[in-house]
Structure 1
C-alpha cells in the first residue's frame, strides 16, 4: 500500500495570515490516532453577544497512523471533551466542522456569521474555512455541549484511509481564561474474524490547551457582521435501515410500501426486498448497513416483538433474530446515541402492543403510522430531521398582578 497516496486533508484554512499554532497537543496519541499542532485564534465576537465569555476558533489537526497489515476499519471516532476544567459548565462548543453527512461533489467554503455559526458562502476568497470533497461520511455529535466527536465512516471496501485529518470548532470559555483542559479519546471498528473476541480500547489522554495568544501575533478572526449569510447547504437526506420480520406476505407488502413512501419523501431507505439480486451473506449485509445509517426503523409485528424480547427459539426467523441482537447490543453499549437512532414504527395493520418492550414504546416514543401517506409519516420524518412541529415562543414578562412584592412593602 502506498501511504503517500492515501493522505487526505479534510479541512484546510483559506487564509493562514496571522494564525497562531499551539504545539501542546503535538504527539499526544490514543491508539492509532495522533494529534498534531492545533491552530488557536481569538474571535472578535460582537459586543453583548456572549457576555462573560471569550470565543476561540480552533483547528484540530490529527493523523490516523495504520500499520500495513492492520485490519480494515469501517469507522474511526475521535472525541474531545472540554468539560474537565473548574468552569466546565461555562464551556460550550458553539459549532463544528465537519458537521454531518457524506462529502461528495464540489468543495464548499464557510464563513463565521455574527452568531458564530459556520454557514456556506459563495466567495471562497473571503471564507474562514474551505471544505474539500471527500469519499467517506463524517457523523458529528456534541455541538451545543461541552465536547465534540467525529466518526469517520467508510462507504467503500477499503475502510477509513490512513493520513492527515482536521476539524474546526468554535469554543466559548469563561472570559479571561488562558488555558483549557482537553480530554482526547478514540474508538475504532476493526474488521476481524467473527470468532475473534476483540474490541479495541484505549485510555483517554489529557492535556491543557493554551488560549492566550502572544501580543505580537494576535491572530484574531472577525465574523461576518454586515449581513446574515444564508445557509445554502444542499438538502440532507437521512439514511434509514428498515428492520422487520417476515410475519406474512401481507406484512412484507406493507413494509415495502412503507419503504417506498420514505424514499419518495427524501429518505435514503434500505430494506432487504430491494437487494434480492446476487447471492449474499445477509447477516453481513444487515450488520454493515445498521452501523452506517443515521436511523433504524423497527416495524412492529408479533414475530419482531418476540425476536427482540427473547421469546424465539429454534431455527426459524434467523434474519430478524440476528438484527435484533445487534440493535440491542448497540442500545446497551451506546444507550443515549442509539435510543434516538432506533425508531419503533407501527404500520396501519399493526398494534402498539407488538412493539418490542426492550425498545420502550411508552417510556420513550413510538411512531404510529395510521396512513401510508406523507402526512402519516410526518412525525417520523421530524424525528429524523430534528424539526419540531411547534416552536417555543420567546420568554415574556410576568404579569404585574402575580409578581411577588418587595420585602417590607406587603400591605
Structure 2
C-alpha cells in the first residue's frame, strides 16, 4: 500500500541549552522508524460473536534505521492508535508479539474463536508466523483502540537496526471503508549527560484502506477448536470463582458454570478443582486472586452477607476471608479492580444477592439466565473486550430538516 511506504518518523538528538522546539529544523537525525506495506485480511468471524463489526487480521511491517555513528539504543517503541469519532468504535482484540523474550526461531500461531492468537502445532493450520528476534518485546493496549510495542535490547548490546513485523486483530464497524491511524515512536539513547534526546513531537496520521480486505474472497477462518487445544496458554482469560457454600444446589450449579467457562476457553480456578490435598486455603485464595485476570463473585445470600460484613463468629470462614481480600483490593485500587471483579447471577439466584460493596446497580453485573454459551455471552465479552453492538455510521439529515433557532429568525 503506497501511503504506508512514505510514513516515517525521524529520530533526533537535541543538545541541552537549545529551546525545546520541534526538532525538524534544530535536531540532529540519528535514524528513523519507517513503515512499509501492511497486509490486511478479512476474518470470517463466528456467528453471534462479533455482530455489527468487521474483523481484520493485519500484519505491520516496519524498519528501524540507525545511523552508523549513532550511540547504542537500549530500547525503542512504536505505537498505533486507531481513530474515529468515538474511540470505542475500534478494538484491538489481540496482538503479537505479546510480551517477554521473543523466540529465537519463528513461532506459528492460529486464531481461536475469540480471535486470540494461540500457538499452532501443525504447519498446515498456521495463519501467523511470528519472526524470530532475541530482543525482549513488551506489548500494551489490547482491549482498547491502540497498541504499542517496546523493543528492549538484552545484554547491553542495543537494539538492532533492520526490519520487524507485528500482527494484530482489529474490529471496525461493519462496512467501514478506511481506518485513520496515528503512528508515533519513542526511543532511548546512551548519550552523555549534557545531551537531551527525543523523537519527533507530532505523530503521523495516515489512512488504511479496508475495501480490498472486505471484498477479498480468500478470508481468514478462525479455528473453532483452538480454544480447547491447550487451555494453559496465556491468551485465554483466567478467572477465580469466589462463591459461598449456601446449599448443595448452589455448589453444584457453580461447578457446572465453571465447566461451561472452561469449555469456552476460560482458565478457571475454584475450590472444587483443588480439593483432595491438605493445604492452607487462605494462602491458596490470596495467590489465585492476585494471579488471575478476573475474579467472578457468584451472588447468593451468604456471599452478600460476607462481603457486606454481616456474618459473625465462625460462620463461613472461607467466603469471609475471600471477601476481605477482594474488598481490600477494591479499596486500594478502585479503577483497576472494579473492572476485574465481575458479579455474576446464576439462573437460580437474584440480583438482590449481589453484595452492595460490588455496586450491583451503579456498575455492571452479569445475569446468566441459562448455563449455555448464549447464557454466558455477555460475561465472555466482558473478559475478552469484544463489544456486542457497533455504533452505526453517522447519517445525514435531509435538506430542510434543520431549522434556525427562534432568536435567529429575527
Q: TM-score range by the shorter chain?
A: 0.5 to 0.7
Over residues 104-126 of structure 1, what are the superposed CA-to-partner deviations in whole Å (9 max), with x where a residue is unaligned? 9984479xxxxxxx9x9x9xxxx
Counterpart in the other structure of 1:266? 265
> Would you say the 8 A contact 2:140–2:147 is kept in 1?
no
Over residues 192-242 of structure 1, what are the superposed CA-to-partner deviations in whole Å (9 max), with x where a residue is unaligned? xxxxxxxxxxxxxxx862238xxxxxxxxxx99997595979654321111
Counterpart in the other structure of 2:199? 210
The within-5 A match list for 1:2-401 is: 41-43=33-35, 98-99=97-98, 107-108=106-107, 130=131, 140-141=140-141, 172=182, 209-211=198-200, 228=213, 236-401=235-400
Shift of the 402–369 alpha-carbon distance from structure 1 to 2, 3 Å rule, reads: same
In 2: Cα distance, 1:381 partner to 1:180 partner = 35
> Would you say the 8 A contact 2:238–2:267 is kept in 1?
yes
Over residues 147-195 of structure 1, what are the superposed CA-to-partner deviations in whole Å (9 max), with x where a residue is unaligned? 9799xxxxxxxxxxx9789999999369xxxx9799xxxxxxxxxxxxx
Extract unaligned runs of 5+ from structure 2: 1-7, 15-29, 39-61, 66-72, 81-86, 110-116, 169-180, 189-195, 202-207, 214-218, 228-234
- The alpha-carbon deviation at position 41 of structure 1 amounts to 0.5
In 1: Cα distance, 2:346 partner to 2:34 partner = 52
> Would you say the 8 A contact 1:108–1:132 is kept in 2?
no
> Would you say the 8 A contact 2:139–2:147 is kept in 1?
no
TM-score, normalized by length of structure 2? 0.52
- The alpha-carbon deviation at position 311 of structure 1 amounts to 1.9
- The alpha-carbon deviation at position 341 of structure 1 amounts to 1.6
Give the total of aligned pairs: 289
- The alpha-carbon deviation at position 285 of structure 1 amounts to 1.9
TM-score, normalized by length of structure 1? 0.52
- The alpha-carbon deviation at position 22 of structure 1 amounts to 7.3
In 2: Cα distance, 1:296 partner to 1:137 partner = 28
Over residues 284-335 of structure 1, what are the superposed CA-to-partner deviations in whole Å (9 max), with x where a residue is unaligned? 2222222222211100011211121122232332221222122222222332
In 2: Cα distance, 1:137 partner to 1:282 partner = 36
In 2: Cα distance, 1:248 partner to 1:298 partner = 16
In 2: Cα distance, 1:334 partner to 1:283 partner = 21
- The alpha-carbon deviation at position 378 of structure 1 amounts to 1.7
In 1: Cα distance, 2:290 partner to 2:78 partner = 22
Shift of the 310–45 alpha-carbon distance from structure 1 to 2, 3 Å rule, reads: farther
Counterpart in the other structure of 1:197? none
- The alpha-carbon deviation at position 250 of structure 1 amounts to 2.0
- CA RMSD of superposed structures (Å): 5.7
Counterpart in the other structure of 1:71? none
Shift of the 360–342 alpha-carbon distance from structure 1 to 2, 3 Å rule, reads: same
Q: Secondary structure at the match of 1:328?
A: helix
> Would you say the 8 A contact 1:106–1:133 is kept in 2?
no
In 2: Cα distance, 1:173 partner to 1:315 partner = 58
